[in-house]
Amino acid sequence: MGLVIQDSLLEVILVAAGLVILTAHHFHNAYKYWARKGVPTIKPKFPLGNTNTLLPQGFSVGPVSKTFYDELKREGHKFGGVYLVTTPNLVVVDPDYVRDILSKDFQYFADRGFYHNKKTDPLIANLFVIDSDDWKNLRVKLTSTFTSGKMKTMFHSVVECANYMKEAMVKSIGQDIDMKETVGRYTTDVIGTCAFGIECNSFKHPDAEFRAMGRELFTFNFRRAIKSFIAINFPKLAMQLSLRISVEKVGNFFRKVVTDTVKLRQEENIHRNDFLQLLINLQESTNFTHDEMTAQVISFFIAGFETSATTMNFGLYELARNPDIQKKLREEICQVLDKHDNKLTYESLSEMKYLAQVLDETLRMYPPLPTLNRRCTKDYTLRDTNVVLEKGTRVLISALGLQMDPEFYPNPKKFDPDRFSEESKKMRHPFVYLPFGDGPRNCIGLRFGQMQSKIGIATIIKNFRLSVSASSKPLEFMPSSFLLQPKQTIYLKAEKV
């Protein structure tokens, strides 16, 4: 039985100190791994290898992989080796190899390789992190949540949440608006109603528990960052220590939400077409446990509220910076709605082609998950080489690197939705656009995320003319964040159209 780490700061510091000693001990041999295989390598530095992130905010390397991608690409390499502390990782640069790993040879790379411990920390064992057969079985069961039919049943509820956001923005005309907080309240309300059938009212009650839990999930103190460091760089040690990385307060909250909602539905014989109902059905027909249900609920909440809020925040920022594009989008929205009695419906949204291009271009420049992680599940030889990736080797694919590569996207820092016209898309390699991943393990909720983002953007742009506030500073990314996040708050100003 492993030693369970309590939330004692002292214990975490002791573990961190032990890791430094462990790292020093293995330093010389560890950093020769890729050279022995004849793989081009970015020179590591003791003690962190190729990363400069001692206190990560999440369980992946975030945008750091773009620096690996750019250096290897500059040297003309199709792939190369790096070290996260002492752990060797292969960085894939060439899009043909990306296709091999994500799709063509997926059976060798079905796992993401994130640390999780189902026994001691069951609330972290969600669809995003679990491996192999566990993932495959659960993916099949959850896929029915995101059919076109389910999207249509949720559509009206999402539009209602967007209208609450519109009403709140009317009251902020002329003031600096923290767009991330605004769209974060909107997406929190959306997930509350579409996942749980609960009206959160985040605009009326900004400190409501759902919104508070959303903030808690993405608050990384020293203790939590150290745990993340161990989980990323020493997963075997983390398993031996039975390291708990879920947030206790968040776990307790969602356990109670699931318990209370399931009890109410069973007692009142309530049946809704939402995510929780699918999990209730699974529990009734399989050995799905309460903690497994709660783990999926937390995962759905994180993916549904945070990634879409981040995408909308960046998208609205670019529209504010590019008034001509904003005007063109507004004209399309109004023209389409004129044909549909001025109602935003599932059908009218699907006719807004330029809106789809604006969202695609936003996701190109600002992919919420900037790094895709995979782990080799059995020995694999890279095509047209003698390089054998041993079972357990970790692979990094920089979505941000590919999507900001001038070879594929000329003048990549320019916001240009025309890149995603049907003609332009046909001319590009299909694996240089990866905001939702690709292959069998792509994002299961991508259509839901796109739908709520489009509804939110369309509602705002139809009703408000946006500009960047003088309070906003030049955009920079947080280097240590798991999801792509700006360092500073983005402030916009809105005036009624």
Other Cβ atoms within 10 Å of 199 Cβ, number: 16
Task: In whole angstroms, give the CA distance from residue 38 to residue 385.
Answer: 10
Rounded CA separation 344/467 (Å):
24
SS3 category, 117: coil
To the question of whether residue 443 is assigned a binding role by annotation, the answer is: yes
Per-residue pLDDT of the chain (497 residues; tens, 9 = 90+): 344 444 445 445 545 555 555 555 555 577 899 999 999 999 998 878 888 776 666 666 788 899 999 999 999 999 999 998 888 999 999 999 999 999 999 999 999 998 888 888 988 889 899 998 889 988 988 887 788 888 888 899 999 999 999 999 999 998 999 999 999 999 999 998 888 888 888 898 877 788 888 888 777 777 887 888 888 778 888 888 888 888 888 889 999 989 998 899 989 998 887 888 888 888 887 778 888 889 988 888 888 888 999 999 999 999 999 999 999 999 999 999 999 999 999 999 999 999 999 999 999 999 999 999 999 999 999 999 999 999 999 999 999 999 999 999 999 999 999 999 999 999 999 999 999 999 999 998 899 999 999 999 999 999 999 999 999 888 988 877 878 989 889 999 999 99
Q: In this structure, are strands 371-375 and 394-398 parallel, antiparallel, or unpaired? A: antiparallel
The amino acid at residue 146 is F
The long-range contacts involving 31-39, CB below 8 angstroms and separated by at least 24 positions, are 31/83, 31/86, 33/81, 33/83, 33/88, 34/80, 34/81, 34/88, 37/81, 37/387, 37/388, 38/386, 38/387, 39/79, 39/80, 39/81, 39/90, 39/387
Predicted local distance difference test score (pLDDT) of residue 305: 85
| CB 84 within 8 Å of CB 64 | no
DSSP 76: T
> By the 8 A CB rule, do 78 and 407 touch?
no
- The rounded distance, in Å, linking the Cα atoms of 63 and 96 is 22
- What pLDDT is attached to residue 124? 87
pLDDT at position 4 is: 42
Dihedral over Cα of 29, 35, 39, 40: its sign: positive
- CATH code of the domain occupying 9-496: 1.10.630.10
**What whole-number distance in Å separates Cα of residue 135 and Cα of residue 441?**
9
Contact predicate 329/362, CB 8 Å: no
CB-based contact 74:11 (threshold 8 Å): no
